[in-house]
Amino acid sequence: MAFSLGWKTSRSHWSLLQAVSSGFPLFSWRTAGGCLDPEMKAYLEENTEVTSSGSLTPEIQLRLLTPRCKFWWERAELWPYSDPYWAIYWPGGQALSRYLLDNPDVVRGKSVLDLGSGCGATAIAAKMSGASKVLANDIDPIAGMAITLNCKLNGLNPFPVLTKNILNTQQGKFDLIVLGDMFYDEDLADSLHLWLENYFWTYRTRVLIGDPGRPQFSGHSIRHQLHQLEEYTLPEPTQQDNNGLTTSAVWDFHP
């Protein structure tokens, strides 16, 4: 019960902020032969469930924590790795993924960076919609493995996953940046806002943001630079798992 009522509903942020402030090293979750680490792979497969229900994107299968999984009910401290944010399909990511699937011209033939990728659903939606190049980024190396597993579930060749704090690095040009559910802490929101502004003015890259209307997003100064593209009513299971949030929207960034 601790997992489902603790870190998951509030999306506690101590580990993410710690990594953002100190940097995060590249982590190899592959063996020397290039295969996924078999022990970690087996652990994730044993403690998650493949599902495509209860979200805005039934076309996408994901390996997630669900009420049928042991750690949905276990005490959070018993999970042996960092908090598994990647094991929840957050509502901002659902909206972004739905938007890309419904509007493939947004990504077709383009290079896409999925910032804070989590389970990888939005990156997967971009690839399914015809993106020519996809890079997923998440500071949790376990998310990197989960994203690779989720690619294979959806019949996709796994795309690259960068498991380091991208806000402290120089990146080449992408045609599109997507990020969902990243504005849940004021300090992180400020850092993201500055990075996105600098990136936009350097490369003129389009930026799409997904968020269900968390206070840290709705009250942030970035809202003055956003144009809403679409709003979706969240499925009932997602509403129940996110403290009753009922909608999630996609925003276009225009600094």
Please tell me the predicted confidence (pLDDT) of residue 72. 86
- Asked, for residue 152, whether it belongs to a domain, the answer is yes
Q: How many domains does the chain have?
A: 1
100-139 pLDDT per residue, tens:
999 999 999 999 999 999 999 999 999 999 999 999 999 9
pLDDT digits (tens, 9 = 90+) for 173-190: 999 999 999 999 999 999
pLDDT of the residue at 9: 42
Identify the pLDDT of residue 35.
Answer: 54
Q: Which domain holds residue 123?
A: 38-253
> Which H or E run contains 51?
strand 49-51
In a domain, 32, yes or no: no
**Cα 126 to Cα 147: distance, rounded to the nearest angstrom:** 13
Contact 24, 18 (CB under 8 A): no
Predicted local distance difference test score (pLDDT) of residue 157: 96
The answer to whether residue 30 sits within a structural domain is no
Helical residues (DSSP H) of 110-235, grouped into ranges? 121-128, 141-153, 186-203, 215-218
Rounded CA separation 243/181 (Å): 14
Q: Is the pLDDT of residue 18 over 70?
A: no
Sign of CA dihedral 24, 205, 184, 240: negative
User: What confidence score (pLDDT) does residue 181 get?
Assistant: 96
In a domain, 20, yes or no: no
Percent of the chain with pLDDT over 90: 69
Residue 76 within any structural domain of the chain: yes
The Cα-based distances of 66 to 51, 136, 171 in angstroms read 9, 23, 35
CATH number, position 201: 3.40.50.150
Q: At what angle do helices 141-153 and 121-128 cross, to 10 degrees?
A: 40
- Please check whether residue 142 lies inside any domain of the structure: yes
- Cβ(127)–Cβ(108) below 8 Å: no
Q: Which pLDDT belongs to residue 81?
A: 83
- 156 occurs within a structural domain: yes
CB 112 within 8 A of CB 178: yes
- Whether 129 maps to a domain, the answer reads yes
pLDDT of residue 38: 87
Burial tier of 19 (Cβ tally within 10 Å: 0-12, 13-18, 19+): middle
**What's the whole-number average pLDDT of the chain?**
86
Q: CA 205 → CA 10, 73, 103, 242, distances in Å?
A: 31, 42, 18, 31
pLDDT by residue (tens digit) across 80-102? 888 899 999 999 999 999 999 99
pLDDT digits (tens, 9 = 90+) for 214-249: 999 999 999 999 999 999 999 999 999 898 899 999
Averaged pLDDT, 53-61? 97
- Looking at the predicted structure, is the pLDDT value of residue 67 above 60? yes
Least confident of 24-38, 107-121, 164-178: 24-38
